[in-house]
Amino acid sequence: MKKFFLLFLALGAVAFANEGGESMIKAYSVVAAGVGLGLAALGGAIGMGHTAAATIAGTARNPGLGGKLMTTMFIALAMIEAQVIYTLVIALIALYANPFLG
């Protein structure tokens, strides 16, 4: 973990080497978009995994409710994925229509 952190700092130093104000904002926006999308994808994947596991366990306990559980699972998966898509939209706004660039 230490090696990864040091590598991340070294790459960050290269990305932020230019002292221009506008380029610094762009560089920070790229890093923020990458970290934000990574965290959103990680959280979404964990949530989807728990949702699928709970649906499978519920179907195994009561096979008669399999259809209702699948419908509910798909609705829950759509809501989880919507959060990741919202993060993608915010990241694209930060990258291409950055409100902090004059």
Contact between 51 and 74 under an 8 Å Cβ cutoff? The reply is no
User: Looking at residue 33, what is its pLDDT?
Assistant: 86
What does the block give as tokens for 31?
Answer: 């890093």
Rg (CA), the chain: 20
Q: Which domains does the chain have, with CATH numbers?
A: 21-96 (1.20.20.10)
Rounded to an integer, what is the distance from CA 100 to the centroid of its chain? Answer: 22
User: Looking at residue 65, what is its pLDDT?
Assistant: 92
The tens place of each residue's pLDDT in the chain, 102 residues long, gives: 777 777 776 666 666 665 666 777 777 888 888 888 999 999 999 999 999 999 999 999 999 999 999 999 999 999 999 999 999 998 888 888 877 776
Residues in the chain: 102
User: Looking at residue 12, what is its pLDDT?
Assistant: 65
Cα 10-16-22 angle, rounded to 5 deg = 165
Report the predicted TM-score, pTM, of the whole model to 2 decimal places: 0.70
Which backbone phi and psi does 8 adopt, to 5 degrees?
Answer: -60, -40
Distant-in-sequence, close-in-space partners of 99: CB < 8 Å, separation ≥ 6: 93
